[in-house]
Amino acid sequence: MTPVYETWETARGAEIIAEHSKMEGATLPIMHALQETFGHVPEEAIPMIASALNLSRAEVYGVFTFYHDFRAKPAGRHVLKLCRAEACQAAGGDALAARAEAKLGISIGNTTADERVTLEPIYCLGLCATAPSAMLDGRLVGRLDEARIDALVSEAQR
């Protein structure tokens, strides 16, 4: 399932911020909610969050940049995350990651030129007993081998 995101609108953003701003320590829940809706945390949202939570823009921007999850721009149509942690390394994950990079013509951390696929590292999906593992748009895949990584890459390219 390809995630479908809304286009950023200030009013919609303000609504989401208002919905979460009464929570204790609301910054992360707000950013998660924005990213779920728009596929990223738009730059325009930063001062809006700051004003809603009575924080400085620098503080909010600092939070935004600290966490690996939050994006400044939408990802490609499909996001393929490959686990790069030790359990998957031990099970041959490095070679499979290199294979995915070669097939897509990009290195991990990048999006293909046609904006179809974003390839990202992830440090542990908790599937260490069925390693190596990956996540394609939220769907988990374990016991990866060459055939399965090839199938995942083709699926992502569609």
- Residue 134 bridge partners (DSSP): 82, 141
106 binds other proteins (CB under 8 A): no
Q: What's phi and psi for 31, nearest 5 deg?
A: -65, -40
| Owner of token pair 């081998």 | 145
Per CB under 8 A, the list member of 97, 119, 127, 153 interacting with other proteins is: 127
Calpha distance 41→23 (Å, rounded): 19
Q: Is 27 in the site for other proteins (CB under 8 A)?
A: yes
Sign of the Cα torsion 113, 69, 53, 16 reads positive
Q: How many residues bind other proteins (CB under 8 A)?
A: 45
Scanning residues 39 to 98, which ones bind other proteins (CB under 8 A)?
A: 53, 59, 62-63, 66-70, 85-92, 94-95
Q: Which positions touch other proteins (CB under 8 A)?
A: 24-29, 31-32, 53, 59, 62-63, 66-70, 85-92, 94-95, 122-131, 133, 138, 140-143, 145-146
